[in-house]
Amino acid sequence: MSKKIGTEAISRRSLLRSAVSAGAAALAAPALAQSALDDLINAPRRGTWDDQFDAKVSRSAVSVVSNNPVLGPSGPANIQQAIMDYQMIVSNGGWPQVNPAQTLRIGAVDPAVQQLRQRLAISGDLDRSAGMSSAFDSYVDGAVKRFQARHGLPADGVMGEYTLKAMNIPADTRLRQLETNLVRLQSMSGDLGPRYVMVNIPAAYIEAVENDRVALRNSAVVGRIDRPTHAINSKIYEVILNPYWTAPRSIVEKDIVPLMRKDPTYLTRNNIRLIDGRGQEVAPETVDWFAPKAPNLMFRQDPGKINAMASTKINFHNPNNEYMHDTPQQGLFNKLMRFESSGCIRVQNVRDLITWLLRDTPGWSRQEIERVISTRQNNPIKLAQEVPVYIVYVTAWSAKDRVVQFRDDIYQRDGNQELALQTTTGIEQPAGSVEEDFLPQ
């Protein structure tokens, strides 16, 4: 429903009363109609008739994702425009703190909603024509969802703990964050290639970019703060369908050996084979699992559904033994805090990404990729042409439409502790997700 325009517009109250009166006369039931209208008007939490409850407004305001890539030649200019906008906000006194006494959501009436409206209007999330009432209407709901989407938060319209913390970061702190990231984007503003992949660690997502437009965007799980994903410029040279997973020595010593002492069937149940230095398989029952040192053997998991990398591994040149891969733990992509790996990058909808990567490699259509995956047979594929990959640490950026994005400083590199306190502190490593990159149960 459109907002009231001008002094001659008919108010909702008079419109509804006239409509009910006309309907009542026609139906010869005026007392019943007036009683229903009075109940509605006098409802304690109805807000005011000038407040808007339009579902279309609430939904459309969330769309802040652009097909402009984070990196590339336009990145520095876009963030410089954001810096000028935020300098103006800071010079005008910033924005107010929002301190509600209750959890605010659509339908609530609270004096703190006026602070919330002012805060959202200053940052450009709420049109100033929406007014300054105390009712959390659909315009406020849409503005909160827009704010949440710009900060990498679930766009549910509820003023929960993380949304409130992000909203109460001062404007001058956000300005300094933009200035810090301008330097990062300037260093990545050269010729990145006609096709490339970008992994933004703080945003925990991946962009496949072609001709300076985002062709594909995938959610990711990246390294936690004590085992961070390394920033690097490299090239993707290989996709492996149905990969083997080789357990790192640290997992063997800390996890697998103790598990074998408790359950001698652990390796067999998880399709993990022991391989000696001559490439020969060793039976688990011939190993002394109570010896002081772990056996000097390769622990290699066969391809399959329970493989730590599931269907796919994507290799790029790097000295850190890091790579991108699929995962059997798909539920991790639904989490707010996707900083749980030991450095490798887990990719949601990875088959979309590898289809894009293998587009110029003859014989590898999506249909053929799916067919080979279904065989459970290991199949390495060299790319016909290596694709650049840029793994970067960018916590603030802006698109051409001046939609400014912020993310938590998960590795505490922005120089302000306040920026690292939103969603990333106190993260406990979930059971069964130790070392690189997943331990079968």
**pLDDT tens column, 291-307:** 999 999 999 999 988 88
pLDDT at 339: 85
For 174-244+305-420, give the CATH class.
mainly beta
Helix (H, G, I), strand (E, B) or coil at 87: helix
Sign of CA dihedral 164, 169, 174, 177: negative
Q: What is the residue type of 359?
A: R
Categorize the per-residue pLDDT at 402 as very low, low, confident or very high, splitting at 50, 70 and 90: confident
Task: Judge whether 383 and 238 are in contact, CB under 8 Å.
Answer: yes
Categorize the per-residue pLDDT at 99 as very low, low, confident or very high, splitting at 50, 70 and 90: very high
What is the distance of C-alpha 418 from the center of its chain? 20
Average pLDDT value over all residues in the chain: 84
pLDDT at 66: 80
Categorize the per-residue pLDDT at 418 as very low, low, confident or very high, splitting at 50, 70 and 90: confident
For 291, list phi and psi in degrees, rounded to 5: -65, 155
Hey, what are 428's tokens? 């406990």
Hey, what are 273's tokens? 């084979």
Torsion, Cα 45 50 54 58, to 10 degrees, reads -80
How much is the average pLDDT of 46-68?
58
Q: What distances in angstroms separate CA 326 from CA 45, 203, 241, one per listed residue?
A: 48, 18, 10
Q: Could you count the other beta carbons within 10 Å of the beta carbon of residue 206?
A: 24
pLDDT at 92: 97
> Whats the size of the chain, residue-wise?
441
How much is the average pLDDT of 337-362?
93
Residues contacting residue 170 through CB under 8 Å, at least 6 positions apart: 94
Query: For 6-74, where are the alpha helices, taking DSSP H only?
Result: 12-27, 30-41, 55-60
pLDDT at 190: 85
Hey, what are 331's tokens? 């539920």
Sign of CA dihedral 131, 137, 138, 140: positive
Paired with 208 in beta bridges are 197, 216
Q: Among 84-88, 269-273, 308-312, whose mean pLDDT is lowest?
A: 308-312
230: annotated active-site residue: no
Looking at residue 347, what DSSP letter applies? E
344: annotated active-site residue: yes
How much is the average pLDDT of 71-97?
95
Residues contacting residue 209 through CB under 8 Å, at least 6 positions apart: 69, 71, 72, 192, 195, 196, 197, 198, 215
Hey, what are 107's tokens? 């339908």
pLDDT at 330: 84
Task: Judge whether 242 and 354 are in contact, CB under 8 Å.
Answer: no
Q: Could you count the other beta carbons within 10 Å of the beta carbon of residue 407?
A: 27
| For residue 199, pLDDT beyond 50 | yes
Q: b/e for 144-167, b at 16 or more Cβ within 10 A? A: bbbbbbbbbbebebebeebbbbbb
Q: What is the residue type of 181?
A: N
Domains of the chain: which residue ranges? 12-43, 59-173, 174-244+305-420, 245-301
pLDDT at 422: 54
Task: Decide which of 13 and 181 is more confident.
Answer: 181
How much is the average pLDDT of 160-184?
96
pLDDT at 24: 40
Categorize the per-residue pLDDT at 204 as very low, low, confident or very high, splitting at 50, 70 and 90: very high
Q: What is the residue type of 250?
A: S
Q: b/e for 305-336, b at 16 or more Cβ within 10 A? A: ebbbbbbbbbbbebeeebbbbbbbbeebbeee
pLDDT at 281: 96
Q: What distances in angstroms separate CA 63 from CA 123, 125, 245, 326, 401, one per listed residue?
A: 16, 11, 39, 28, 12
| Domains 59-173 and 174-244+305-420 belong to one CATH topology | no
CATH entry, 59-173, from 1.20.1260.10, 1.10.101.10, 3.90.650.10, 3.40.630.30: 1.10.101.10
| For residue 166, pLDDT beyond 90 | yes
- In angstroms, rounded to a whole number, what is the distance separating the alpha carbons of residues 134 and 156? 20
Looking at residue 10, what DSSP letter applies? P
| For residue 120, pLDDT beyond 80 | yes
Q: Could you count the other beta carbons within 10 Å of the beta carbon of residue 204?
A: 26
pLDDT at 420: 81
Categorize the per-residue pLDDT at 59 as very low, low, confident or very high, splitting at 50, 70 and 90: low
- In angstroms, rounded to a whole number, what is the distance separating the alpha carbons of residues 238 and 381? 6
Percentage of the residues of the chain whose pLDDT score is greater than 70? 81
pLDDT at 424: 46
pLDDT at 374: 93
Task: Decide which of 281 and 64 is more confident.
Answer: 281
Q: Could you count the other beta carbons within 10 Å of the beta carbon of residue 41?
A: 12
- In angstroms, rounded to a whole number, what is the distance separating the alpha carbons of residues 231 and 391? 5
